[in-house]
Amino acid sequence: MDTVKKEFRNYDQSDATAAVRHHYKKMRQNQTYDYVMEMKKKYLTYDMPMDLWDAFIKLNDLIDVSDPDLNLPNIQHLAQSAEAIRQDGRPDWMQLVGLIHDLGKMMYLKGNDADGTSQAEQWGLVGDIFVVGAALPDTLVYPEFNALNPDMANEKYNTDTGVYEAGCGLDNLHLAWGHDEYLYQVLSHHKGNRLPKAGMVMIRYHSFYPWHTGGSYRSLLKPEDEEYREWILDFNQYDLYSKSDKIYDVEEIMEYYGPIAKKYLGDEVINW
């Protein structure tokens, strides 16, 4: 398993990497505490009704610039994750989480270049996330860009705990803005949502690598967060190691996952 692990998330391999590096540089420069507060106000308006499957299809047009392992439309990455979870005989809700975990990227439909939420500018949409309002850790990908973040020159934000209370716990932190928090909030706001807490945690924190894999932010965590981490690491193997060139038939995917989506998200349209 170790050799397999080394082949993914390799950020040191030339070509594709230049674009990934550039993405992370812009993300680090622009994702400040104030920016995140502004995006939450601006995008969490729940005023765009769209069926789950329409949102799913919309992702077909978006390729994630931050991912060095994948040059496929997002929809195929989602199908691969879900099918890997299904093949392992894991619960139906977790299969569904695999299928929808990146659906928040449909935010690009409301997005624009200036916010980093468009097809062309994705630094407010995708990529490994971090806590805003506290010091950036060296466990972040491309830590050499940390100093470019304007908040790191502000003593209100550049300490270990920053604007937070020590031990306040994961759910009380503000993370860099992107598809994770967006989908989490949209589904939290959705009346028909019956996904178990573990599923919601997988959605919200799956890109939070400096915490779940890097082990940073200890001073901000509380003991219960360790359970979150176990859920995320369990999920992460399917997000990461399912990546392949296999193409799934979207009709077949919708046929199998349709009833599961109905069971956990209800019949009502989702307000994005």
The piece of 14-22, 128-136, 227-235, 239-247 that touches Fe ion (CB under 5 A) is 239-247
Site pattern 139..178 for Fe ion (x: CB under 5 A):
----------------------------------------
Residue closest to 198 by CA, chosen among 264, 246, 134, 262: 264
Which residue, 8 or 256, has its beta carbon nearer to Fe ion? Answer: 8
Q: How far is the CB of 238 from Fe ion (least distance, A)?
A: 9
Residues 91, 210, 142, 39: what is their CA dihedral angle, to the nearest 10 degrees?
80
Q: Site size for Fe ion, by CB under 5 A?
A: 2
Q: How far is the CB of 217 from Fe ion (least distance, A)?
A: 19
Helix (H) or strand (E) holding 196: none
Which residue, 73 or 150, has its beta carbon nearer to Fe ion? Answer: 73
Residue closest to 160 by CA, chosen among 216, 232, 88: 216
Which residue, 102 or 121, has its beta carbon nearer to Fe ion? Answer: 102
3-state helix, strand, coil split of the chain in percent (to 5) is 55, 0, 45
Q: How far apart are CA 236 and CA 136, in angstroms?
A: 22
Which residue, 135 or 198, has its beta carbon nearer to Fe ion? Answer: 198
Q: How far is the CB of 101 from Fe ion (least distance, A)?
A: 6
The piece of 53-61, 168-176, 237-245, 263-271 that touches Fe ion (CB under 5 A) is 237-245
Which residue, 82 or 131, has its beta carbon nearer to Fe ion? Answer: 82
CB 55 within 8 A of CB 270: yes
Q: Per rule CB under 5 A, is residue 102 in the interface with Fe ion?
A: yes
Q: Per rule CB under 5 A, is residue 239 in the interface with Fe ion?
A: yes
Which residue, 102 or 181, has its beta carbon nearer to Fe ion? Answer: 102
Q: How far apart are CA 196 and CA 39, in angstroms?
A: 27
Q: How far is the CB of 85 from Fe ion (least distance, A)?
A: 12
Calculate ∠ Cα 112-113-117, nearest 5°. 60
Q: Is 157 helix (H, G, I), strand (E, B) or coil?
A: coil
CB 90 within 8 A of CB 235: no
Q: Per rule CB under 5 A, is residue 64 in the interface with Fe ion?
A: no
Q: How far is the CB of 150 from Fe ion (least distance, A)?
A: 25
The site for Fe ion (CB under 5 A) is made up of: 102, 239
